[in-house]
Amino acid sequence: MQRDVYKAKTHFLERLRHQPGKIVNLCFVIVLIFSTILTWREVVVLEDAYISSQQNHLKNVASSLDRQLQFSIDKLLFFRHSMGDALQTPLGFRVLQDAVTKFNRLRNQPFWQLDVDQQRTLPISGVSDATVERTTLLARDGQRIGNELSAALEVGYLLRLATSTTGKERRVSYVSRAGFFLSTDPSPLDYTIVSRYYDLVTRPWFTQQNERQNRSRGVRWFMAPLSDDREERVITASLPVYQDHYWYGVLAMDFTLPTMKQLLTEAVDRRTDGEYQLYDSRLNLITTSEPPDGLVNQFDELERAQIAHAIESDTQGGIRLNSRYISWERLDHFDGVVLRVHTLQEGVNGDFGSISIALALLWALFTAMLLISWLVIRRMVSNMSSMQNSLQWQAWHDPLTRLNNRGALFGRAKTLAQECREQNIPFSVIQLDLDHFKSINDRFGHQAGDKVLCHTAGLIASALRSSDVAGRVGGEEFCVVLPGATIRQAAEVAERIRACINRKEILVRKSTTTRISASLGVSSTEENENSDFEQLQSIADARLYLAKQQGRNQVVWRDADKK
C-alpha cells in the first residue's frame, strides 16, 4: 500500500516535471488567488473601520445632543419634584391661602385668573367647575384642589426663574386635571382661557399621560402632527405629576423645530461630512443638520420601512441603502433617533474612499503585471521546453538517419536485455553493414552515400516491430535489438531486411540508380542465457564478419552457417 502511494506520488511528480507549463499556470493561479483574498481581506477590514468611524461620529453627535437635552429634562424633573414636595407640605404663606380663597370665590365663573404677584410667579388661569365635570378625564377634587393650587403657584416661581435664563424651551406649563393651567406664555384674562385650556387637555402629551399609558411616569416626547396648524409646530416633553397614586396633571416643555435644529447643528462637528437627521419615535423627521438651502436626503417608503425595521431592535447600528450608508443611534434623553446619512460620493471623497480606490487600483495593477509576467514566462518555458526536447533528441539520435545513435542504442539495448533476462525470455541482436559502401561514395559522391544510408535506415525501421529498437552504430553499420525474439525469428527479420535492401534500386543521382546489399550477423541469448548485450553484439559482429568473408549480401546466424 505504502509502495503504491509512493509510486503514485513519484509518477505524479514525474508527470509535473515534464509539464513545466502546467506548474507555471498553477503557481500564477495560486498567487492570483492569494493576492485577491488578501485584497478582499483588506477591503473587509477597511469597511469595518469605515463603519466604526461612522458610528463614532454619530455617537459624538448623539451624546452631545443628549447632554443638551438632559439639562432641560433635569429641569422638568426638578419642577415635578418641587411640586411633589409642595403637594405634600404646602407652604403656609398668607398670599397662597388668599389665592385659594380667591379661587373658591371664582371657581364657578366660566373663566378666571389668580394673579398673585406678576413680578414673581406666573398667573393661574382656569375654567369653571361645570366645565371640569363635563369630561371624565378631568376632576376637581375638593380635598386636593387647595394644596394643588398652592403647589402650582410655588412651581410658578420656579418656572419663571428657570425659563427666563435660557432660551431653549419655547414654553413650560403645568396643566392640571382640576381645570386650571399656568404657563410661561402670557395669558390674558378673557374667554380664550376656556379654549386654551380645552386645547391643552386634548393634546396627546396630556391625554396619554394617564397611569395606564405611562406606567413608568417618565418623560415622554410628542411631536405635533403636520396637519396641526393651530400654532407653530413644536416638540413637547411631558411629565405626569402624581401624588399618592393620584394624577394631578402634566408638566410640559415645548421646543420649536428651529430650536431642535440649532441643538443638532451645535452637536455636529462641521469638519465631518454626511448629513445628520433627527427623527421622533415614529420615524417622522424633526430636523436635519443641513442648512435651509442644503440638499436633504429623502427616503422612499421602502427605505423608511428598512430603516424602521433595522432600528427596531437595536440602540445603534448601520444599514446600507443603495449608494448611502445610514447609521443610527438612539438618544437617552429624547424619545427618538439620530441618523447619519453618508452618500457614496462623500465616501469616495473621504479618506476611506481614496484608500479603497488606491487598493483597487493596486490590485488591478498587480493582476495586470501578474498576467503580463505569466504570458512572458509561459512563452519562455514553452521555448525552453521545445529547446530541451530538441537537444535531448539530438543527444540520442543520429541526425542523418534519424535512428538512435550508438550511445542511445547501447543504453536502451542494455536495459531491454536486462528486462528480458528477468522475464526469462530470449533477446536477439542483428548487426548490419552495407557492402562496398566506400565504392558508392567514390562513384557517386558523399551526398549519394548519405542518401543510401537514409534509405537503408528507412528500410530497417519499416521491417521492425514497435518493441524492436534500431540504431546506427558506425559509418555504414547498423544494429537492431529484438526483445522476446528467438534466434530463428531474428534471423528471419534479418533476412527480410537484407532482401529488402537488395531488392530496391536507389536513385543516387539524376537518372542514375544503383542497387546495394548488406551483410548481417545475428546472435541471441538462446545460445547462451547469461550473455549480456555487449557479448551478443560482439558475437553478431563476428558473424557479420563471417558473412562478409563468405561473399557478402547474406545473413549468418550460426557460427557454422553458410549461405
Ligand X SMILES: Nc1nc2c(ncn2[C@@H]2O[C@H](COP(=O)(O)OP(=O)(O)OP(=O)(O)O)[C@@H](O)[C@H]2O)c(=O)[nH]1
Which residues are known catalytic residues? 476
Query: Closer to ligand X at the Cβ: 116 or 453?
Result: 453
Distance CA 138, CA 146 (A): 16
Are 524 and 440 spatial neighbours (Cβ–Cβ below 8 Å)?
Answer: no
- For the bound state, the minimum distance from the C-beta of residue 548 to ligand X, rounded and expressed in Å, comes to 6
Query: Closer to ligand X at the Cβ: 315 or 549?
Result: 549
Query: Closer to ligand X at the Cβ: 314 or 450?
Result: 450
Site membership for ligand X, residue 291 (CB under 6 A): no
- For the bound state, the minimum distance from the C-beta of residue 393 to ligand X, rounded and expressed in Å, comes to 19
DSSP string, 267-314: HS-TTS-SEEEEEETT--EEEESS-TTS------HHHHHHHHHHHHH-
Q: Return the residue of 211, 419, 450, 505 that touches ligand X, per CB under 6 A.
A: 450
Which residue matches cell numbers 393651530?
Answer: 230
The residue type at 402: R
Query: Closer to ligand X at the Cβ: 125 or 553?
Result: 553
- For the bound state, the minimum distance from the C-beta of residue 406 to ligand X, rounded and expressed in Å, comes to 12
Site membership for ligand X, residue 476 (CB under 6 A): yes
**152, containing H or E segment:** helix 145-165
Partnered with residue 133 across adjacent β-strands are none
Query: Closer to ligand X at the Cβ: 87 or 453?
Result: 453
Count interface residues toward ligand X (CB under 6 A): 14
Provide φ and ψ at 555, rounded to 5°: -115, 130
Are 185 and 171 spatial neighbours (Cβ–Cβ below 8 Å)?
Answer: yes
The residue type at 49: A
SS3 263: helix
SS3 402: coil
CA-based nearest residue to 321, from 343, 338, 337, 352: 343
User: Which 8-state DSSP code applies to residue 360?
Assistant: H
The residue type at 225: P
**Looking at 165-173, 178-186, 446-454, 489-497, which segment touches ligand X (CB under 6 A)?**
446-454
Which residue matches cell numbers 518493441?
Answer: 467
Query: Closer to ligand X at the Cβ: 169 or 433?
Result: 433
Q: Inter-axis angle of helices 351-396 and 20-88, to 10 degrees?
A: 160
- For the bound state, the minimum distance from the C-beta of residue 460 to ligand X, rounded and expressed in Å, comes to 15
Which residues in 413-504 belong to E strands, given as ranges? 427-434, 469-472, 477-483
Query: Closer to ligand X at the Cβ: 438 or 503?
Result: 438
Give the x-and-dash track for 416-445 against ligand X (CB under 6 A).
-----------------xxxxxx--x----
Which residue matches cell numbers 508527470?
Answer: 15
CA distances from 108 to 112, 215, 328, 504, 545 (A): 9, 34, 53, 149, 156
- For the bound state, the minimum distance from the C-beta of residue 390 to ligand X, rounded and expressed in Å, comes to 21
Burial class (CB in 10 A: 0-12, 13-18, 19+), 466: exposed
Site membership for ligand X, residue 299 (CB under 6 A): no
- For the bound state, the minimum distance from the C-beta of residue 524 to ligand X, rounded and expressed in Å, comes to 24
Q: Return the residue of 402, 475, 509, 562 that touches ligand X, per CB under 6 A.
A: 475
Q: Return the residue of 179, 318, 426, 449 that touches ligand X, per CB under 6 A.
A: 449
Query: Closer to ligand X at the Cβ: 297 or 405?
Result: 405
Q: How many CB atoms lie within 10 A of CB 202?
A: 11
- For the bound state, the minimum distance from the C-beta of residue 549 to ligand X, rounded and expressed in Å, comes to 10
Give the x-and-dash track for 115-134 against ligand X (CB under 6 A).
--------------------
- For the bound state, the minimum distance from the C-beta of residue 398 to ligand X, rounded and expressed in Å, comes to 9
Residues from 521 through 560 that contact ligand X (CB under 6 A): 548
Provide φ and ψ at 506, rounded to 5°: -110, 135
Q: Applying CB under 6 A, which residues contact ligand X?
A: 433-438, 441, 446, 449-450, 453, 475-476, 548
